[in-house]
Structure formats: structure tokens, C-alpha cells
Amino acid sequence: MNPYFKYPLIGLLVFIVLLVLVVRGCGGKDKVPEPSTSTSVTEGPGGPAVVSQPVTAPPATTVQPPSVSTSPSVQPSSVASPEVEKMLESAREQLNRGMLEAARQIARNVLKMPEVVEFDKTWRRAAEIIDAADKRLMNSTAPTSEKKKYVVVKNDNLTFIARRNFTSIGALKRINENLRHNTVIRPSQTIMFISGKWSIRVSKQHFLLMLYLNDELYRIYTVGIGRDNRTPAGTFLITGLTEEPAWYRNDGQVIPYGDAENLLGTRWMKLTPTEGTDPTLEGYGIHGTWEPDSCGTSCSAGCVRMRNEEVEELFDFIPPPRDRTPPVRVVIEE
């Protein structure tokens, strides 16, 4: 071939190849993204319900996800780190060995870890260890830092000792096993009592009553609350304690203790609104129930409902309101 024609032909072929490659790179179709799945959480009386919704993202426009109203809001769950897992394991081991105060302290340290979210699975694991330890401590003479000793003097009696130390006879009997069946005391006898300030929080959302001693979590109880959101949120004081209570119905009828229609169980603790809470919120209280399976549900007419054996225990550690004894504060939260 004539070299004058050969090189122009080669250049033309290279130009055609490059042109084809450019057209293919610019003229293809946009890739359509695969449908993704978003998970929304709504909260109701029975707990969180998880609903999966397909969401397809168009290539050229941005679509805002539908807003989901959560009432009450759902907190994120924490994932226990290896350090927290090790602490929980250590606390459980101490509990099993009978080292109750050590187990409780480790579990309390877990609750203070920044990664732990209140009421989530990790929080509950720690709270259950605290609860198990303190249940044994408040029902025995097992030593712990909050227990103090009182030495009986001449002419003492349990009523005087309870009042002087801002506690109750019921609490003294629970702590001191020797007083449960024999309340006769003698001079120089040592009696143990729990010293400190009690307070209570109730979480309606989690059906949980939390007992605190000196602002540290002490016990947890599963409770029932009012159906149709009838349990009011606010701050209250326990201003009355009644054993074997009669039930005063709204229609004025009095249902005596022991009657099958009496809904109050074995104990009643009267709640009086305080600190700016609506003063008309009268008639509410914390009480027992003859239907223990109803605890953990929205079941009552508005009061906080507990299992009889648990409300009796709590009742014993609430000091009767007197002139020198400050009433126990109760905060009810949504």
C-alpha cells in the first residue's frame, strides 16, 4: 500500500474507536437502586411494635421518610461492651457467693456507665442484680452499710425505737428475724434498722415502680397502672398507710376488706399531690391486688397496683407520716 494512504487510514481507525468508547461511557442508563426496608417503632400499652415498610429511593429526587409519632418516645438500646459484660458477670458471681453489698455496688456502677440506657436490657440486668441483693438485705440481719445498730435501754419498746429512727415496726421485724415471732425486747439487746431517705419513681411506660434509698436504686417492682391512661403523672407524697383497707367506691358505697368486690388487696398507701401537681388529684394511691397477673398491664381505675406480697414489703419500709418524719416522695412519670 502506498505509505501516503496507509498512515491517514490508521489515524481514522483510531479516531472511530475512541468515538465509540466515549458514546458508550456517556449514553448508558442510570442504575435504579434496590428497594430498601426502613423500620419504624411505635409504642403502645403492650410495648414496642416493630413495623417494616419498603421505601424506594428515586434516582433524581430526594424523598423525605414519613414522620412517625412515638408516644411515649422510645429510647435507643445500649449494647453492652466487653467491660460492662465483665462487670455484670462479676456482680452475678458475687451475688451467688452471698457477697450482697459487693454485687449491688458493681451493678450500680454498671448503671452509671455512659453507654447504658435506662430501662433497656443491660440496665434491667444490672437492676435485677441490685433488686435480688437488696431483697435479701432488707429481709435479714445480713450486714450492709445502710444498716445501723440500736442498743435497747430500759423502758424501750418497738414503737418508740421505730419512731426515733424514722422507720416502722414492720421494717424492724423484717430485718431482725428474732422479732418476727417475739416482740419482747430487753435492755442491751441490739436491734438493726435501715437508716436513710426513701423515695419512689413509677414509670408508666415500663410498668415499673423503683424504690430508692438515698437516691440510689434499691428495689424494682412490676406494677399495674390505670387503663386508658388514667394514672396521672406528677409528684406526690405518701400521707397515709392502711392495712387491710376498705374500698370507698365513687358511688359512695364502702366495700369492706375481705369482700370479693374489694379491689385494693392487703395494703393501701395514700398519695397526695405536691410540688405544683394538680391539687385536685385526690383518691389515688399505691395498693395491692387479688389479681397478681394484672401487674405489668394497664388494668386499674387509676391507682398503681402491686402484688400483695410485694406491696406488703414496700409498705413496711415506708415510715408512717408523723410530725418529725418527712413523708416519702413519689414521682409518677409517663
Q: Which residues are catalytic?
A: 287, 303
Quote the CA–CA distance of 86 and 94 in Å, as a whole number: 12
CB 212 within 8 A of CB 218: yes
CB 167 within 8 A of CB 194: yes
DSSP string computed for 14-70: HHHHHHHHHHHHHSPPPPPPPPEEEEEEEEETTEEEEEEEEE---SS---PPPP---
Helices (H), the chain: 3-26, 82-96, 100-111, 121-137, 158-164, 169-175, 308-317
- Residue (of 286, 284, 289) closest to 308 by Cα position: 289
Quote the CA–CA distance of 78 and 120 in Å, as a whole number: 7
Strands 208-213 and 198-203: antiparallel
